[in-house]
Amino acid sequence: MALPKIDQPLFDIIIPSTKKKVRYRPFTVKEEKILLIAQESKDQNQILLAIKQIITNCVENVDVDKLAIFDLEYLILNIRAKSVNNEIDFGFMDPDSEERIDVSIDVNDIEVQFDPNHESKIDLNEQYYIMMRYPTLKEVTDLSENADDVNETEKMFNTMISCIDTLIDQTTDEVYKLEEFTSEEVTDFVDGFTSTVVEKLQKFFTTMPKLSHSINYKDKEGKDKVFVVEGMDSFFT
């Protein structure tokens, strides 16, 4: 007689970038092992690939390759909460006294924060504007793999190029999908941007939604302070 298969409970969650409701389940012991092995390797690419595999397995009807990084962070954090527990033990150093502060964070209190000044539409001139999209796992992985081969300026430029989704001509409503052009053509196009446009592109990335949580605590002198935790590395690894 074969052992019975244990059904996993399903939960609803809203993907932050699309506001689409999807269903997910906790990860299994087998899937947790994949993540733990990746974490032990301390290889960022291996960790990202493990997270991709777990989200692919545990979340219904999503294309992981098209999700923004903050979507992945939010999903894996909530999968972890349903698989282990809602509490994350977290430690940090007080920036003034260098005293270690240990706290417990409830995953339900962690949200993706949206900057009201964030803009995905960037005007190039009176005729053209571009629409940006958020970096995906592929862009982050590619940057990590090539980290030793390019400097910071090149990394910023490459990320900027990869996240330009469309060019729109406001006079004709013609839409150019940049993925349909060669990398050389897109690079030549971006090389023609003014400094003002580049500043707007930089603002797109600096104001991009992110997983964030503020921790209120008292230092050893009893002074009230706030420590802000951001990103998957802080919460999960």
User: Are 23 and 100 in a shared domain?
Assistant: yes
User: Are 147 and 131 in a shared domain?
Assistant: yes
**CA–CA distance, 69 with 208 (Å, rounded to integer):** 10
Could you tell me the residue range of the domain that residue 36 belongs to? 11-113+210-236
User: Are 44 and 65 in a shared domain?
Assistant: yes
User: Are 227 and 189 in a shared domain?
Assistant: no
Pair 157, 186: CB distance under 8 Å: no
User: Are 15 and 108 in a shared domain?
Assistant: yes
Q: 139 — alpha (psi -120 to 50), left (phi > 0) or beta?
A: alpha
**CA–CA distance, 66 with 163 (Å, rounded to integer):** 12
Query: Span 99-119, mean pLDDT?
Result: 91
Burial of 217 (0-12, 13-18, 19+ CB in 10 A): middle
Give residue-wise pLDDT tens across range 130-189: 999 999 887 777 666 655 555 777 777 888 888 999 999 999 999 999 999 998 999 999
Residue % of the chain over a pLDDT of 90: 54
DSSP assignment, residue 109? G
DSSP string, 25-53: -PPPHHHHHHHHHHHHHT-HHHHHHHHHH
**CA–CA distance, 54 with 191 (Å, rounded to integer):** 39
User: Are 17 and 102 in a shared domain?
Assistant: yes
User: Are 89 and 147 in a shared domain?
Assistant: no
How many structural domains is the chain composed of?
Answer: 2
Would residue 5 count as lying in a domain? no
Its pTM stands at 0.84
User: Are 68 and 147 in a shared domain?
Assistant: no
Would residue 1 count as lying in a domain? no
> The tokens of 205 are what?
């990335």
User: Are 107 and 31 in a shared domain?
Assistant: yes
